[in-house]
Amino acid sequence: MPTAAKEKKGKLILDVAIKLFTSKGYAATKMEDVAKEANISKGLTYFYFKNKEDLYMALTKKAFDELKSIFKEIYKVKGKAGLQMITELAYSYLDFTQNHRIYNEAILNFMGLVKQYNDEELKKEIDPQILKSDHFQKLLEIHHDCGKIGIQMVTIGLRDGSIRPELQAEVTFYTVWSMLIGYERLMGPVGYEGKEVKIHLENWKPGFIKLLQDMLKGTIQASKPQAVQASLF
């Protein structure tokens, strides 16, 4: 089969899988469901993807690629201050988590897998089919790509004075990312009407972004960084 046709068929299978994982959920979706929806044989489906675990890792790879494209689009625009980039990234990231829920869940699932993978005992609990997936191995190589771009955004902010100079770029970016993940996870509890907490989603988001900006800007005028940089807090 010509390369172009092969890639097209693989894309079709993945697109159908994304549709079914979104509508039915991962557990309820079977490889034969994907084959039927794609109007191809089950055997051909397995030719492109070893199993459902491999197919989900391919989805996760696509999710990271989509998220990386958002980071790159913001970073490539010249003339922006670092704080402006991080602010735009915050809004775009939160939109991504809401508009592409299946991608967001896949990314968070992979982050959990990496945590297990880094621990020799917990690693034994990972499904062997996942560990054998070529897509999983590729993800281990590229999953820091977004972080690298985000760190560059913070670095620009440290240089142009829009972000307080005593911060350390790597610590700062990953703290910001963890805050964004936490915000998305807490949207459900905050939005639940029966809660006793007096906060609403419509005023939480702008308040969250403003607090993020204030944290990065600090309350003092930017000055020359010290030789030994402090942590974020």
Write the single-letter amino acid at 53: E
Spans of all domains in the chain: 1-49, 52-217
Options 3.40.50.720, 1.10.357.10, 1.10.3720.10, 3.40.605.10; CATH for 52-217 is 1.10.357.10
- pLDDT in the model for residue 56: 97
32: closest CA among 103, 3, 24, 2? 24
Q: What integer pLDDT is reported at residue 2 of this predicted model?
A: 61
Task: Report the distance separating Cα 46 and Cα 70, nearest Å.
Answer: 31
Note the pLDDT of residue 222: 44
Predicted local distance difference test score (pLDDT) of residue 228: 47
- The pLDDT assigned to 132 comes to 96
Q: For 226, what's the count of Cα atoms within 13 Å in the CB-facing half-sphere?
A: 8
pTM (predicted TM-score): 0.88
| Distances in whole angstroms, Cα of residue 134 to Cα of each of 4, 29, 31, 90, 124 | 20, 21, 18, 31, 18
pLDDT less than 50: residues of the chain: 220-222, 228, 230, 233
Specify the amino acid at residue 200.
H
Output the six-digit token pair for 64.
């990271």
CA distances for 82 relative to 47, 70, 74, 79, 190, angstroms: 45, 16, 10, 9, 30
The correct CATH number of 1-49 out of 1.10.10.60, 1.20.140.10, 3.40.50.300, 3.40.50.2000 is: 1.10.10.60
